[in-house]
Amino acid sequence: MIDHDAAPTPLVTRRLYTDESVLEREFATIFTDSWLLVGFESEIPEPGDYVTRRMGRDPVIMSRSESGDVHVLHNSCTHRGTQVCKAAFGNTANFRCGYHGWAFANDGRLRGMPGRRTNYDPDLDVSKLGLKQARVGSVHGLVFATFSDRVGELDEFLGDYRWYLDRIFGFFPGGMEVHGGAHRVVIRGNWKIHAENFSGDGYHLRIAHRTMFDLGVMGEQAGATKGFCVSTPQGHALRAQYVDDPALVDTVFGYPEEILEPARRKDLPGAMEFRAASSVIHGVLFPNAPLITTAPVQFGEDATGQTAFTQVRVVTPIDVHSHEVTYWSLVPKDAPEEWRRKSYLYSVRQHGAASYFEADDLENFRRIDAGLGGSGGADVPLNYDLGIGVPLGGEAPFTGPGTVVSQDFSEANQRNFYRRYLEVLDEVVAP
Ligand code: FES
Ligand SMILES: [Fe+2]
């Protein structure tokens, strides 16, 4: 064992992916005592704008009230529990329940009840009957929420990962915004397989996605790359890879010079070194928000025409065998419109729900689900030893916080994901 990975490998049993009681426990702990990504402020720019989402099992409305504040409201009437908003998105001053007609303002307050004057006590305190409000926090326009009082402040939850969020979503002075709305699909497979894949699985790229390398889509990334994995005690993680060619550093990002220049002047410490060493970054905001950002200029001539893109997802379990994925593409606000459209196109084409990378990944997630089986092989644990006992690949090419493991292929992040997962689950799951 080498000391860069001295923590014991968590025992990942198949039951974590097949047992309904584990999923119940996840809803009660992982999805309750975490700040969950709900969406982006740029999805609801105007007062009255809203989108509906799910936090674990809870249906929620993310809305912007008349005062401009962002609210995350339990989408459940305080009369009988009916969902008060059925649409995926829209603009409204009131959410009117379809059962008995109680009307809630877009900040959650109960504003009207049919027959209020004649059929209810005039002293009834309606201020207590508003929709339940989640705690809300926002970082670079990413909106997080939690209904739990047990979890600390958002800053504490993000910990050292904030440094990386600043350099991905806060890199451009004008910020980033959603382009093309949210896309939603339901896919086969346990949600954790998806989350851990994004946390650090560089190992599958040349096998599962081999066709993309053969077609030249990955350009020079098909040759030798270097990479590193970063993880934090809160379970957040990212892996980055880059072509080890100093000549490419000045051409980083593939963003138009007119928006790259202000970013250079912003002088965020370490940002250039980090992004220059990251032609592809994929990661996960624990527990369930994968992200990916690419800078394909480093992909070389074969990949000419490709455009940098940034994508964020949320994966939410439906049952142990399936989960819903919400995809967002983000573009710098200040980029030219044509460039923004192209970036969106590549985000959707490469990593959208029906993209060529996604086809490979979703098929593997489905096959994992098919391969887990029932009781026959339930006692065979899954293996997470990749990188243990292997020397590091030299110094990391930047200085950033968290545990940085300078290995291109490593399961350090997945081990950390499950360490944190089991810590929050607070239960030993036997095979
Ligand atoms: S359930 Fe909503 S008004 Fe009765
Ligand atoms: Fe993949």
Concatenated DSSP letters of 326-373: EEEEEEETTS-HHHHHHHHHHHHHHHSTTSHHHHHHHHHHHHHHHHH-
Residue 374 lies inside a defined structural domain of this protein:
yes
Cα(265)–Cα(263) distance, integer angstroms: 5
Last residue of a domain, one of 92, 115, 147: 147
Residues 361 and 238 in one domain: yes
CATH at residue 368:
3.90.380.10
Phi, psi values for residue 241, rounded to 5°:
-135, 160
Tell me how far the alpha carbon of residue 91 lies from the centroid of ligand 1, in angstroms.
21
The range of the structural domain enclosing residue 338 comes to 160-425
CA distances from 60 to 50, 88, 89, 100, 108 (A): 10, 11, 12, 20, 11
> Are residues 56 and 199 part of one domain?
no
Neighbour count for residue 306 (Cβ, 10 Å): 22
Nearest partner of 150 among 233, 38, 62, 29, judged by Cα: 29
Task: Judge whether 37 and 53 are in contact, CB under 8 Å.
Answer: no
Count CB atoms within 10 A of the CB of residue 4. 17
| CA of residue 136 to ligand 1 center, whole Å | 25
* Residue with CA closest to ligand 1 atom 1: 80
Query: Based on the domain organization, do 142 and 192 belong to the same domain?
Result: no
pLDDT of residue 391: 87
Indicate which residue's Cα is closest to atom 4 of ligand 1: 100
For residues 142 and 165, membership in a common domain is answered with: no
Is residue 18 in some structural domain?
no
Instruction: Give a yes or no: residue 8 inside a domain.
Output: no
Confidence of residue 3 (pLDDT cuts 50, 70, 90): very low
Q: What stretches of 121-219 show up as alpha helix (H) in DSSP?
A: 154-158, 161-169, 191-200, 205-208, 210-215
Determine, yes or no, domain membership for 19. no
Distance CA 172, CA 86 (A): 36
Residues 116 and 198 placed together within one structural domain of the fold? no
Ligand 1, closest atom to CA 101? 3
For the chain, percent helix, then strand, then coil, each to nearest 5?
A: 35, 25, 40
- Determine phi and psi for 239, rounding to 5 degrees: -125, 140
**CA 209 – ligand 2 centroid, Å:** 7
Residues 119 and 168 in one domain: no
Which atom of ligand 1 lies nearest, measured to the CA of 84? 2
The protein residues having their C-beta less than 5 angstroms from ligand 2 (an ion) are 361
- CA–CA gap between residue 329 and residue 340 (Å, rounded): 10
Distance (angstroms) between ligand 2 centre and the Cα of 106 equals: 39
Q: What is the CATH number of the domain that holds 60?
A: 2.102.10.10
Cβ proximity of 264 and 253 under 8 Å: no
Q: Does position 302 have pLDDT exceeding 70, yes or no?
A: no
Assess contact for 384 and 12: CB atoms under 8 A. Answer: yes
Can you give the pLDDT at residue 184? 96
Residue that finishes a domain, picked among 147, 181, 209: 147
- Report the distance separating Cα 412 and Cα 203, nearest Å: 12
In a domain, 211, yes or no: yes
Pocket residue to mutate for ligand 1, from 76, 84, 102, 113, most atoms within 8 A of Cβ = 102
Render pLDDT for 229-249 as a digit per residue (tens, 0 to 9).
999 999 999 999 887 776 665
CA of residue 62 to ligand 1 center, whole Å: 20
Examine residue 15 and state whether it is found in any structural domain, yes or no.
Answer: no
| Strand arrangement, sheet containing 49-55 | 70-74, 58-64, 49-55, 89-91
Q: Which residues pair with 63 in a beta bridge?
A: 50, 71
Compute the distance between CA of residue 12 and CA of residue 94 in angstroms, rounded to an integer: 46
Task: Using most ligand atoms within 8 A of CB, pick from 77, 83, 113 the residue to mutate for ligand 1.
Answer: 77
Q: Is 10 domain-assigned?
A: no
**Between 211 and 402, residue with greater pLDDT:** 402
Q: Give me the pLDDT at residue 267, please.
A: 82
207 lies in the same domain as 60: no
Q: What mean pLDDT value characterizes the chain?
A: 90
Q: Mean pLDDT throughout 96-118?
A: 98
Residues with CB under 6 A from ligand 1: 77, 79-80, 82, 97, 99-102
What is the tens place of the pLDDT at every residue in 351-397? Answer: 999 888 999 999 999 999 999 988 788 888 899 999 999 988 878 88
Given 96, 120, 147, which residue is the final one in a domain? 147
Q: Where are any strands of DSSP class E within 176-308?
A: 176-188, 225-231, 237-243, 280-285, 289-294
**91 with 179, same domain?**
no
Indicate the number of domains in the chain.
2
Instruction: Calculate the alpha carbon distances from 209 to 14, 276, 367, 389 in Å.
Output: 25, 24, 15, 27
Q: What is the mean pLDDT of residues 395-405?
A: 90
pLDDT at residue 1 in the model = 34
Closest CA to 289 of 2, 45, 30, 42: 30
Residue 25 maps to a domain: no
> Would you state the pLDDT for residue 430?
58
